[in-house]
A and B are shown apart, each in its own frame.
Chain A
Amino acid sequence: MGQQEREKKKSKDKTEKQAEANPEVVEKGKKIKEDIDELLDKIDDVLEENAEEFVKNYVQKGGE
């Protein structure tokens, strides 16, 4: 949790700084790229830690 909050704060700081540096004109492509980077960093925070084992153990009975 602590790490997640730190990450959140860090990314917030980042966007604020960027807003200062480029008050209005942020190149669209660059912005999208940064958004994606920020998003991808978040995935690692949320993604189940033992992905391989978790996926292996996810066995369902057929339904319907």
Chain B
Amino acid sequence: MPNKLIIGTETEFGIMSRKIDGYDPVTSSLFTINHLRPFSALRILWDYENEDPLVDARGFVVDGEKERPTQDENLNLNKPLENGGRLYVDGAHPEYSTPECTNPRDVVIYEKAGEALMHLCLENANRLRKEEEKIFLYKNNTDGKGNSYGYHENYLMLRATQFEKIVQSLTPFLVTRQIFAGSGKVGTDNKADPAAFQISQRADFFETLIDLNTMAKRPIINTRDEPHADPKQFRRLHIIVGDANMAELSTYLKVGTTALILQMIDNEHFITGLELDNPLQAIKAISRDLTLKKGIKLANGKEYTPVEIQRAYLEEAYKYFGSMERDPVAFEIMDHWQEILNRLEKNPNELSRKIDWLIKYDLINNYREKKGFDWDNPKLAMMDLQYHDLNPEKGFYYTLLKDGYIDTMVSPGLVLLAKDSPPRDTRAYFRGMCIKKFPKEVYATSWSSVLFDIGNFTIKRVPLLHPLKGTEALVGNVFNRSETAEDLLRNLAA
């Protein structure tokens, strides 16, 4: 079993400019990511060799065309990063993937580093643009008109774990975790029932329970089975139901609590008896109940509030992790989880400095009351959008943070470091260090490989099929001993 968690997230950013005539989101996305200076001067391909997004976790392969861009397109679309992550364009959005991390604090750090890198792109890209043509980027998930773009979490799990067991144990958890992981939203989307303000950005978009699709008829449980690792040993659970968060505690709890539940499932500690009567209805109902007091119907006929359901998971986690050798990462997650659930139950308003939907609600509702606006006033929808603006001068999350209205979890110094340094305890270390140390010789990278072109006609491929190998502990010395890429390859083979 993996003795460590492996977690990574992908964020698609919303993009626009004030001028609509002649504006094209794909061109603007490419323009943005190609302004990551000085980094974009490097020409490193993305290696699509091991990618197969059409394999389904339920055990079959779906028909469809695989994406395979030409070499020039590939270079234009992909910016493998020194921190082991990846910046790229997916469809009509710029997207950032964190490197593989072993704990939720690192995920927070690398997501914040991603926001900083996107901001760097934005500053460079906008330098020569006219005011009307300047690009705006948003870390959110909806345009308020029925179009959603994703925030995906990835967790490494054991191949041996049955997919049905994951679905059964995990669904009630995913449906209810929005109470601390939701980013908040003014209004509704996708023809869903009306609401003035919702907890979740994404809840309105889920129409099925389980499916391979991520773009239409979105499922609560996504079945993409593309492990980016040895497929005999591992699966990668691809969770698409979450919101992108600005608040550090929301990101930390979202990935931390989910990782704990998945670790329990991987070790056959299943959570039963919480199956929901109608998960699709529940996810939308919970998003609309800002009091958190309404009961959700379970399959067994009982009714629990979302806090009670989360508490049941927390109790299972304390039971499971309490019986093992003490894991400080797990206990830190559970202690935060418990504190937040207590506050959500007693007085959610106390969390208006800590978790996104309550920070946002507090801000917008106070403004609304002061101005005497109704909830459908466009200024409030603008505030909702602008909360997620990646420009620190404009984005309300950042301005609130600067003025001392938000509590954070990670140090700004670590975020700064994470812009160009990989985590030390996963294979991201090897990938990131290769790019950092040998930028000219690295020909291509992917999640599971680094390819070198050292000028002798053949491309050398170093496979990275195990996410916990290639760490600083295992290869740090090899990098120290290698002056050139040729040395590195020779020392790795020795």
Contacts and interface: CB of A to CB of B under 8 A. Distances in A.
Contacts of B210: none
A49 to B, nearest CB: 10
A52 to B, nearest CB: 4
Interface in A26-63: 36-37, 39-40, 42-43, 46-48, 51-52, 54-63
Given A55-B385, A58-B143, A59-B145, A64 B214 contact: yes
Interface in B2-17: 12, 14-16
Contacts of A59: 143, 145, 147
A31 to B, nearest CB: 13
B149 A63 contact: yes
Interface stretch (B86-94, B117-125, B484-492): B86-94
B30 to A, nearest CB: 14
Given A54-B18, A55-B378, A60 B92 contact: yes
Contacts of A61: 25, 91-93, 147, 149
A55 B370 contact: no
Nearest to A38: B403
Contacts, number: 96
A63 B443 CA distance: 28
Contact of A62 (B152, B215, B385): B215
Given A61-B25, A63-B12, A64-B215, A43 B383 contact: yes
A29 to B, nearest CB: 14
Contact of A52 (B16, B378, B400): B378
Interface string B138-164: 000011110111101000000000000
Interface in B209-235: 214-216
A56 to B, nearest CB: 8
Given A47-B386, A48-B394, A64-B152, 20 more contacts: A36-B366, A39-B363, A43-B367, A47-B379, A52-B379, A54-B18, A55-B144, A55-B385, A57-B18, A58-B14, A58-B16, A59-B143, A60-B15, A60-B93, A60-B147, A61-B93, A62-B148, A62-B149, A63-B91, A64-B240
Interface of B: 12, 14-16, 18, 20, 25, 90-93, 95, 142-145, 147-150, 152, 214-216, 240, 363, 366-367, 370, 378-379, 381-383, 385-386, 393-394, 396, 399-400, 403, 405
Contacts of A37: 370
Contacts of B150: 63-64
Name the residue among A52, A55, A60 with the largest chain B CB count within 10 angstroms.
Answer: A60
A42 B144 CA distance: 25
Contacts of B403: 39, 42
A56 B379 CA distance: 11
Interface string A6-30: 0000000000000000000000000
13 contacts: A40-B366, A40-B370, A46-B396, A47-B379, A47-B382, A47-B386, A48-B382, A52-B378, A52-B382, A55-B381, A60-B25, A63-B149, A63-B215
